[in-house]
């Protein structure tokens, strides 16, 4: 996996899956029946155990810390709740330029020490040959949550603030970018070998708006970490942003399934590693279909070094475990 990040030759394509420790696993559902989501994130030995059991069960080539994009917002003053079955809710969303001032600078990382404890506990239990991935939400995705107060279809509050109050927007994005940067570096300090920046909602933007309102801040979020470890820069929902994602930074560019991997890699440039890009919905098909499409993604990479196999987004809760195992066996068999 580390060699693939550096575009070096590998014996076979490394593989891990976004949301590999998730609700599709009966063991995970069993634990979640006893422990709430945020409680699990904040209990390092349990969070580590969940990921280590998953890595052992699946035989993937990397662990990622069990956590979420949003905990970083709590010490910044956002009133965050994970309501059962509802997704995250922020009870005090940012809607105006004045509200932006309410978002506190992340002066100390102490309130997030449980995350670094998760890094340490997971690292301690993990095969020394496997990398541990830390992660953070990208500034745009964090801003979207802060402004909408949760997820959204059209991100209209977010775009309204962006278009109507550009100075407040850049102030907000700068605060989030510096916080994400410090957070990623602290995860590397605690023992992560790789970090991933998730820009889950950037795909709702035009290339022009991404360049003007997002790119400089994503660059800020990644720069310090990139001097220390490989950074995977992932967004979903708009293949035409790929050259701009590469311009913002990232040792590896994460690709979703909306574009053929070979075309995506050409847009990103072959001097950069890529991660992706099977549609996670394909894991709801039969095993033979899973195998064929997995092979098709591998064929798109044409044996070129620098491909990390992954889905184009997280594993869906409805996914049969045997299909995930089939995917991993297929990648490892090549």
Residues 58, 60, 119, 282: which binds its own copies (CB under 8 A)? 282
Round to whole Å and give the CA distance between 327 and 314.
14
170 token code pair: 């850049």
> Rounded to whole angstroms, what are the CA distances from 249 to 163, 202, 317?
24, 15, 31
Helix (H, G, I), strand (E, B), or coil: what is residue 304?
Answer: coil
Peptide bond into 145 cis (omega under 30): no
Q: How far is the CB of 258 from its own copies (least distance, A)?
A: 5
Whether 287 is catalytic = no
CA dihedral 257, 260, 266, 272 (to 10 degrees): 40
Q: How far is the CB of 164 from its own copies (least distance, A)?
A: 6
| Position 208 contacts its own copies (CB under 8 A) | yes
Q: Which is nearer to its own copies, 125 or 207 (CB)?
A: 207
Q: How far is the CB of 257 from its own copies (least distance, A)?
A: 5
Residue 134, beta-bridge partner list: 195
* Angle made by CA atoms 153, 262, 279, in degrees to the nearest 5: 40
158-177 footprint of its own copies as x/- string (CB under 8 A)? -xx--xx-------------
214 token code pair: 């997002």
> Rounded to whole angstroms, what are the CA distances from 218 to 72, 74, 257?
16, 20, 22
| Number of residues located near its own copies, criterion CB under 8 A | 34
Q: How far is the CB of 287 from its own copies (least distance, A)?
A: 11
Q: Which is nearer to its own copies, 239 or 306 (CB)?
A: 239
| Position 289 contacts its own copies (CB under 8 A) | yes
| Position 35 contacts its own copies (CB under 8 A) | no
CA neighbor of 234 nearest in space, from 252, 210, 259: 252
Q: Which is nearer to its own copies, 136 or 259 (CB)?
A: 259
Residue range at the interface with its own copies (CB under 8 A); choices 12-20, 30-38, 139-147, 252-260: 252-260
Per-residue burial over 173-207, b if 16 or more Cβ lie within 10 Å, else e, is bebbbbbbbbbbbbbbebbbbbbbbbbbbbbbbee
Catalytic residue among 24, 28, 145, 183: 145
Residues 56, 83, 98, 296: which binds its own copies (CB under 8 A)? 296
Contact 80, 154 (CB under 8 A): no
Whether 23 is catalytic = yes
| Position 274 contacts its own copies (CB under 8 A) | no
Residue range at the interface with its own copies (CB under 8 A); choices 42-50, 95-103, 182-190, 279-287: 279-287
Whether 145 is catalytic = yes
| Position 321 contacts its own copies (CB under 8 A) | no
Residues 279, 329, 332, 334: which binds its own copies (CB under 8 A)? 279
Q: How far is the CB of 142 from its own copies (least distance, A)?
A: 19
Round to whole Å and give the CA distance between 41 and 119.
11
Q: Which is nearer to its own copies, 175 or 293 (CB)?
A: 293
Q: Residue 308: how many CB atoms within 10 A of its CB?
A: 24
| Position 239 contacts its own copies (CB under 8 A) | yes
Residues within window 115-154 making contact with its own copies, judged by CB under 8 A? 154
Contact 126, 63 (CB under 8 A): yes
Q: What is the largest CA-CA distance in the chain?
A: 56
Residues 155, 201, 213, 265: which binds its own copies (CB under 8 A)? 155
Q: Which parts of this chain interact with its own copies (CB under 8 A)?
A: 154-156, 159-160, 163-164, 203-209, 237-241, 257-260, 263, 279, 281-282, 284-286, 289, 296, 316, 318
Among all residues, which ones are annotated catalytic? Answer: 19, 23, 32, 68, 145
């Amino acid at each position: 996996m580390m060699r693939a990040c550096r575009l070096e030759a590998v014996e076979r394509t490394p593989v891990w899956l976004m949301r590999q420790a998730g609700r599709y696993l009966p063991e995970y559902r069993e634990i979640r029946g006893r422990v709430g989501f945020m409680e699990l994130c904040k209990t390092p030995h349990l969070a580590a155990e969940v990921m280590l059991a998953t890595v052992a069960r699946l035989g993937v080539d990397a662990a990622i810390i069990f956590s979420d994009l949003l905990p970083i917002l709590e010490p910044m003053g956002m009133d965050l709740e994970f309501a059962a079955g509802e997704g995250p809710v922020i009870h005090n969303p940012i809607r105006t330029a004045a509200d932006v001032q309410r978002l506190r600078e992340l002066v100390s990382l102490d309130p997030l020490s449980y995350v670094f404890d998760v890094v340490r506990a997971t690292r301690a239990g993990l095969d020394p040959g496997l990398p541990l991935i830390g992660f953070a939400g990208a500034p745009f995705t964090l801003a979207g949550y802060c402004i909408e107060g949760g997820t959204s279809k059209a991100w209209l509050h977010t775009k309204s603030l962006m278009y109507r109050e550009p100075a407040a927007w850049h102030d907000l994005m700068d605060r989030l970018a510096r916080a994400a940067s410090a957070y990623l570096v602290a995860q590397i300090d605690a023992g992560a070998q790789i970090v991933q920046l998730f820009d889950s909602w950037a795909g709702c933007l035009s290339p022009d708006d991404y360049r003007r309102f997002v790119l400089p801040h994503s660059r800020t979020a990644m720069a310090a970490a990139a001097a220390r470890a490989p950074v995977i820069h992932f967004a979903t929902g708009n293949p035409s942003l790929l050259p701009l994602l590469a311009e913002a930074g990232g040792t590896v560019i994460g690709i979703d399934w909306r574009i053929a991997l070979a075309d995506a890699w050409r847009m990103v440039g072959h001097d950069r590693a890529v991660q992706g890009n099977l549609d996670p919905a394909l894991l709801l098909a039969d095993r033979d279909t899973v195998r064929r499409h997995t092979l098709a993604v591998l064929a798109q990479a044409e044996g070129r070094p620098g491909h990390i196999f992954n889905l184009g987004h997280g594993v869906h809760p409805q996914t049969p475990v045997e299909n995930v195992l089939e995917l991993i066996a297929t990648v490892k068999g090549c």
